Structure 1
Amino acid sequence: MNELEIKFSVAPMMDWTDRHCRFFHRVMTRRARLYTEMLTADAVVFGPRERLLGFDAFEHPLALQLGGADPARLAQAARIGADFGYDEINLNCGCPSDRVQSGRFGACLMREPALVGDCVAAMLGAVAIPITVKCRIGVDAQEPREALFGLVEAVKAAGASAVIVHARKAWLEGLSPKDNRDIPPLDYPLVYALKAAHPDLPIAINGGVVDLTAAPEHLKHVDGVMFGRAAYQSPELLLGVDPLLFGEPAPVADAFEAIEAFTPYIARALERGVRLHDITRHMLGLFAGRPGARAYRQKLAMLAPARGAGLEVLREAVAQVSREFEAMTV
């Protein structure tokens, strides 16, 4: 594959994949490609750039996902992202929220492949890093094969380095953004067919993949697998990414070691005035299914939001699980 490694990635997720979440995920996998939350091109150009775009070098490889439909504005935003040091710029053509519909971007762009091609071309003219596209297989009454293949042909002709396909339609009329993540049926074979039609274009699959052991089966047909909510809600699965998919040891042995490795980052963030809850909210899924996990979550949920909460809160929460774990191993 080319320099853009897409074998495994964690999806861009609004309100979730902020810089604290991404650093935590990177503790558990060195090889996964990480993505920011979607940022609109206008926010990047006119907003507080350091707050929106800042990240730790440890997060690499890291992609910036942009939302927008104005080629010139997207080119400006892409240039800013490249200057910040991102490894990739990804154009969102899949989000079905009301906000993106009103702005004529996100999943709405499935209806305008020529415009998406223009956006990709404009961004490529502004930066020297890869430009990729994340899309659905269609929206509303579109025929999925026609919609998906048409969009991909347009962005490939414009020079896109890869396409990530959420293998569901987006219903912009009649379904909420939440329902759009689950209700439209998955069509993995269509994405496989897309890859067969474009063997020279890296293509990753997204949507409904919740078990890491399913990744190798998908990789028989496409170049990459993108995990979304499963990686966020059960972050320990990331410990299996490097061994299973890349033949390399996991950076840490288990969730307890992951927290220890993450602690210096938390301490630095607290010194900068970041609230503990803003970090630990991304860790609530750890230890799921283990004795003590509920007490761990409750402790963090109740105490981490308090003003001045520090690392002792996290240590107390982890102790809820450690005691149970030690009792079982005696």
Structure 2
Amino acid sequence: MKAIIYRDNGGPDVLDLLDREVPAPGPGEVRVRVAVSGVNPTDWKTRSGATNPKVHPEIIPHLDGAGVIDAVGAGVDESRVGQRVWLFLAGAGLPAGTAAEYTVVPADRAVPLPGEASFELGAALGVPALTAHRALTVAEDGPSRLAPGALDGKVVLAAGGAGAVGHAAIQLARWAGATVITTISGPEKARLATAAGAHHVINYREGDPVAEIRAIAPDGVDIIAEVALGANLALDLAVLRTRGTIATYANDGARRVELDVRQNMTLNTRFQFMVLYTVGDKALAAGAQDVAAAVADGALPVGEEHGLPLVRFPLARTADAHRAVESGAVGKVLVDVS
């Protein structure tokens, strides 16, 4: 099979297209013929060595993807052969992810993909959708699962609504019944966030965004899905309701975070920091089930017309796909494998 390999940490140039043996699924595993592989910021950070040291002699990158199960290991229902699936955390802690014609994953990380849902959609789920799900289900006064009506009466602020996680947070929150506000940095991103389904889109670089958000939510925002905690903390605390939750999955811009303890005591602020690698099996299973239900309801479409442009590369140009993600490409970067 054709696979993207790297043996040393470094820039995109360490990625090579090589031939490798087709892997065999072990007990509890499935083998998937990959159609589309999704690229996330964590993929290039892992490749570069910025997050964790490399522990395997060679690595096939990428956590997310979509394709068709073509073989199963012992203990897995054989009727799953031929099933269309989307994959999450495929290469987490393992030497082989989805940047290859075939990959092997634990059976529960291959989630059925409805026939009407494209492989492009499947490959765009994974990290963004599961991160967004976690952000929306950690509030003290909120639900632990998402479904239509679960967030009725709640106000959600999705920071950076034109990003992949922000896009998924908008769609999932709206599907679950929340009033959805998002902040963006310019008119083009505003157009994308509106297409994603945000009820209110606010340019944080203009006017008085705090006053605009408070006009929409006089009692404050219930849940904030935050991508840049250091840069946005002052705004977040100015619009958060008492006992509200700031769920942060990134700190874009890397601005230092300093907390006024008394202010947060008075607000009874809940901060939830998150990364999928350590969120736990229970949260991952719940997220996968709820995201699958949202996909079945048609609630998570992708593409320019739905607020998430698709930026595509062939497998041989995976290094360019990494460069696109590193440089902040707007939309979802995908690699066409087969």
Question: Normalized against structure 1, the TM-score is what?
Answer: 0.30
Q: Which has the higher strand share?
A: 2
Structure having greater relative contact order (Cα 8 Å, sep ≥ 6): 2
Q: Whose helix proportion is higher, 1 or 2?
A: 1
